[in-house]
Amino acid sequence: MSDQQEFPDNTTEYTDVEHSESEHQPHSGGTDLALPEQNLPDKVYIIPIHNRPFFPAQVLPVIVNEEPWAETLELVSKSPHHSLALFFVDTPPDDPRHFDTNSLPEYGTLVKVHHASRENGKLQFVAQGLTRVRISTWLKHHRPPYLVEVEYPQQPKDPSDEVKAYGMALINAIKELLPLNPLYSEELKNYLNRFSPNDPSPLTDFAAALTSATGNELQQVLDCVPMLKRMEKVLPMLRKEVEVARLQKEISAEVNLKIGEHQREFFLKEQLKVIQQELGLTKDDRSADIEQFKQRLEGKTLPAQAQKRIDEEINKLSILETGSPEYAVTRNYLDWASSVPWGVFGQDKLDLKHARKVLDAHHAGLDDIKTRILEFLAVGAYKGSVSGSIVLLVGPPGVGKTSVGKSIAESLGRPFYRFSVGGMRDEAEIKGHRRTYIGAQPGKLVQALKDVEVMNPVIMLDEIDKMGQSFQGDPASALLETLDPEQNVDFLDHYLDLRLDLSKVLFVCTANTLDSIPGPLLDRMEVIRLSGYITEEKVAIAKRHLWPKQLEKAGVSKNSLSISDSALRAVIDGYAREAGVRQLEKQLGKLVRKAVVKLLDDPKAVIKIGPKDLEASLGIPVFRNEQVISGTGVITGLAWTSMGGATLPIEATRIHTLNRGFKLTGQLGDVMKESAEIAYSYISANLKQFGGDPRFFDEAFVHLHVPEGATPKDGPSAGVTMASALLSLARNQPPKKGIAMTGELTLTGHVLPIGGVREKVIAARRQKINELILPEPNRGNFEELPDYLKEGITVHFAKRFTDVAKVLF
């Protein structure tokens, strides 16, 4: 039984009482304790108890409320036998003075009352269980005290062999239970003091009382008078109790083992720490942290403000408890602040020969870019140090912008750090979070300096034209301070809250187009344009870089697999005409994979790929040699796209002569539509001057179309081309063959400059067009082009449209 049992009327029954006193001392009434079978009274008072029945084999203190049971106990103390009956009631009545007599069970227990006392409205007495009792007649049942006539069941004195067997089983179960729960051992001692082990009835009742069964289950045992049936009920209850106790002991042992292991490990570690500290071998966590931060700062040149701030934080760390959250925040801050390479600068390799060697090894073509980088390095060599600068590499995808940045770093001998700002929406990525936020970190620039361990690395900001904006701020605006050479001497990171000198950092930014870069940011950068490659350059890149790289990737030796120059040209012309070389690399990879399949079947084979083998591996060519459209009213223009340059034919035709009109098609943007209107107006107004019939446009309905209607087109540089197409139509004379042009036209016939001269010249060369008309203001742009691009091309420079007409007709 448990230490304490509560009853709904606030009665409590205790089991851990010392019973020897009640067993051997005389009662206050002066009579000795009677044995269960002696002096059993016919009439007794009853008290209902709740929660658990009282068994004949028990001696326990019982506590009841003074009201309404004081009178009952007083009458019991005056009776010669000092006995009363305890009956179990599962659900107590609201008022104990009025309860249903039918709610009592069949059997209760006759107990002898010892040592009655009262305290704080409670009555306490020790109850010694004598025997089962059954009510035969109610003598007084309206209100307490309740008086009843009782009868006692008879037990056979000589138990059968089966009962003895059950008795042995019960004793064995009790023996098993004792080591598992020491609380039961005291109860067993009390039982053995009073009963013979050969008496089965008290043994069975005692065994039932040991279990933690419910009140109703125990009442069923009390109601069961036949010995064998009662034992059959009690034995399973006792076995269950043994199993529960065993399981509890196993769980406790497992938990204690785990706790013991952890405690042992913890104590040993703590002892080791103390021993090491006593011997001076190690320091505690705080001292170790502080020493580590101070060691990191040795040899670094900190600004006075930064030194002061870090010293303050170290002092703060020395007085904080290591377990406090503020300790972790301060430690994290010092970890970052001490990792910045204050005043540590790498030595630049200002050797132009070495730089040229590196650039040539990494890149075929791009001569103008290499020259520009070498000029930049030459200035540094002349001055003795390369100061920070911001270079913006602009060009189509796949032309090698990122690898140019790496080559700059390698040629200078500086560490290189690249991070992409494409899609970045949070300005804290650049400037850091305030350290008050959970999970705060410095910006990417401080992280870069920590990684490269010098204050003058090459930092590449990739995809700067693809930055986003959101409610978290505008990172493009945050870059203004970062990239401005006048401001980044005192760059402030929000997390460190310290001024950093970024003026020696060489920033290399990359973009595909300038349109989406904010003006103020663009203004701070030096723009270097990387145009697309011509076929010759692509062949060189494929031979020197892309093909060996694909062979190495597949683990194929160059003796087993080779490709001819003509096959490379065929791949470039038929499958990879884009400005960069990314698509070319993919196609070469595909060729290598197809060849590897054959090599698996025949490892000793030697495969040579020629132009005729391409269709089997790469399919039908994506690009065909375009026929340059020619005829009356058809002119070839030149266009710039983000993927490089392209030729753009423009067609004009007369639909009918019923009325005057002008129609435009080809998915044109607003600027291009305006260019068409200007060309139409200019040619209509000046047709006589160009030798056409002045009345042609008065009567004709003209349609102007720019082919590839699915592709959006915009820009002013097709003005001259559109005017030429309309003039050819009006004169009914086809233009000169094999000529292409570009330029913006005004209403007064002036030809204005355009952009993307290099891309447009490359597009013309790709189409085998060798005669071009360019605006006169673009003469300088053409002269700057490398000789291999200008070779074999005739260029006419036009100031006014009359110059264009002279060349065309």
Q: pLDDT of 552-595, one tens digit each? A: 888 888 888 888 888 898 888 888 878 788 888 999 999 999 88
pLDDT of 29 above 50: no
Provide the pLDDT for residue 627.
62
**Residue numbering of the annotated binding site:** 395-402
- Indicate if the pLDDT at residue 30 is higher than 50: no
Band of pLDDT at residue 284, cut at 50, 70 and 90: low
Listed range (204-208, 755-759, 786-790) with the worst mean pLDDT: 786-790
| CATH 3.30.230.10 is the classification of domain 634-808 | yes
- Pairing verdict, β 701-705 and 661-665: parallel
Residues 129-145 have a mean pLDDT of 88
| Interval 500-518 mean pLDDT | 86
Q: Which long-range contacts (CB under 8 A, 24 or more apart) does 595-603 make?
A: 595/556, 595/561, 596/554, 596/556, 599/556, 599/560, 599/561
Residue 272 pLDDT greater than 50, yes or no:
yes
pLDDT value of position 26: 35
CATH 1.10.8.60 segments of the chain: 535-618
**Highest CATH level, class, for 43-151:** mainly beta
Predicted local distance difference test score (pLDDT) of residue 11: 37
Using the predicted structure, report yes or no on whether residue 628 has a pLDDT greater than 70.
Answer: no
- For 11-21, the pLDDT digits (tens) are 334 333 333 33
> Residue 35: is its pLDDT beyond 50?
no
Which of 27 and 224 is assigned the larger pLDDT? 224
| 352-524: in CATH 3.20.10.10 | no
- What is the rounded distance in angstroms from the CA atom of residue 71 to the CA atom of residue 75? 6
pLDDT at residue 150 in the model: 92
- Per the model's pLDDT, the better-predicted residue between 591 and 28 turns out to be 591
Annotated binding site for ATP: 395-402
Give me the chain's average pLDDT, please: 82
The predicted structure's pLDDT at residue 775: 93
Q: Residue 9 pLDDT > 70, yes or no?
A: no
pTM: 0.59
pLDDT value at 666 more than 90: no
- Within the chain, all domains assigned CATH 2.30.130.40 are found at 43-151
Alpha-carbon distance values, 549 to 346, 479, 521, 574, 586 (Å): 31, 36, 37, 22, 11
Q: Cα(183)–Cα(245) distance, rounded to whole angstroms? A: 12
What are the start and end residues of each CATH 3.30.230.10 domain in the chain?
634-808
Q: How far apart are CA 791 and CA 780, in angstroms?
A: 16
The C-alpha atoms of residue 179 and residue 186 are separated, in whole angstroms, by 12
Question: Where in the sequence of the chain do the CATH 3.40.50.300 domains occur?
Answer: 352-524
Residue-level pLDDT at 92:
77
- With CA atoms as reference, report the closest residue to 346 among 452, 271, 436: 452
The pLDDT tens digits for 337-358 are: 888 888 888 887 777 888 888 8
Confidence category of residue 612, pLDDT binned at 50, 70, 90:
confident
CATH code for the domain defined by 535-618: 1.10.8.60
Mean pLDDT check: name the lowest of 5-9, 308-312, 473-477, 542-546. 5-9
| Active-site amino acid positions | 717, 760
What sign results for the dihedral spanned by CA atoms 320, 324, 327, 329? Answer: negative
pLDDT band at 37, cuts 50/70/90? low
